């Protein structure tokens, strides 16, 4: 009887340990999460938590001021002007990951973007968006959508719905004001 009792305790301990390990792996991998689980750092160290935008649509775009696609900053500003009052947050995520095309320091990026493109939407601190050291949001997005949907260059766009799920993604060449982008935004705006 003692052996059977010991065996039952052993099996129970293994099952509990396995469940705890699986939960830890889920937490590390982002399984079951939404975009609302992630926080970006702003240029001067303050946090920008996506959970603070629950109920709104968020367009997350990795940017670079020296990229050949940097003219898209003006298009992102146009989206900001058109849709921010209707519940869209345009969030620029400056990155130096592709071709070293973001040479500016954290605080200088937003000043440059505003001066050259009129960009008034929020820009985070410079952030890694590719590879194993990518920001957790980007690691999560790649897991959620698969390798084809991860950024392969600057100005890759993820559209996050009000519930925190990624509802669409758009590769670099698709301008922010393209009908595919604006139609997707309009479908997920609060009250649409």
Q: What is the pTM of this model?
A: 0.83
Q: What is the CATH number of domain 35-188?
A: 3.40.30.10
The region of weakest confidence among 5-9, 31-35, 52-56, 105-109 is 5-9
pLDDT, tens digit, 9 for 90 and up, residues 66-114: 999 999 999 999 999 999 999 999 999 999 999 999 999 988 999 999 9
How much is the pLDDT for 159? 98
How much is the pLDDT for 54? 97
* Pair 51, 160: CB distance under 8 Å: no
How much is the pLDDT for 129? 98
Q: How many whole angstroms separate alpha carbon 47 and alpha carbon 110?
A: 16
How much is the pLDDT for 184? 98
Average per-residue pLDDT in the chain?
Answer: 87
pLDDT, tens digit, 9 for 90 and up, residues 58-68: 999 999 999 99
Domain extents in the chain: 1-32, 35-188
Q: Which two tokens stand for residue 131?
A: 């590879």
Q: Which of 72, 140, 122 is nearest to 101 (CA)?
A: 72
At 145, phi and psi to the nearest 5? -105, -15
**Is 31 a residue whose pLDDT tops 90?**
no
The region of weakest confidence among 18-32, 85-99, 134-148, 161-175 is 18-32
Active site residues: 67
Residues 6+ apart with CB under 8 A from 185: 57, 59, 79, 83, 88, 159
Q: Is 100 left (phi over 0), alpha (psi -120 to 50) or beta?
A: left
How much is the pLDDT for 107? 83
Q: In the chain, pLDDT over 70 holds for what percent of residues?
A: 83
* Pair 109, 153: CB distance under 8 Å: no
How far is it between the farthest Cα atoms of the chain?
A: 80
| 30: confidence class by pLDDT, cuts 50, 70, 90 | low
């Amino acid at each position: 009887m003692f052996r059977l009792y010991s065996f039952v305790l052993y099996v129970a301990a293994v099952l509990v340990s396995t469940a705890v390990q699986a939960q830890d792996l889920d937490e590390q991998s982002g399984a079951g999460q939404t975009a609302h689980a992630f926080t970006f750092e702003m240029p001067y160290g303050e946090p920008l938590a996506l959970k603070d935008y629950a109920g709104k649509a968020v367009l997350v775009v990795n940017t670079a001021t020296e990229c050949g696609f940097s003219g898209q900053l003006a298009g992102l500003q146009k989206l900001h002007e058109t849709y921010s009052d209707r519940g869209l947050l345009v969030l620029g995520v400056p990155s130096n990951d592709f071709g070293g095309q973001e040479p500016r320091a954290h605080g200088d990026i937003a000043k440059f973007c505003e001066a050259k493109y009129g960009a008034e939407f929020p820009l985070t601190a410079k952030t890694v968006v590719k590879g194993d050291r990518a920001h957790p949001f980007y690691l999560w997005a790649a897991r959620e959508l698969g390798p084809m949907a991860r950024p392969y260059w600057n100005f890759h766009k993820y559209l996050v719905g009000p519930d925190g799920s990624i509802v669409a993604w758009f590769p670099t060449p698709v301008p922010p004001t393209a009908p595919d982008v604006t139609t997707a935004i309009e479908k997920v705006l609060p009250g649409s």
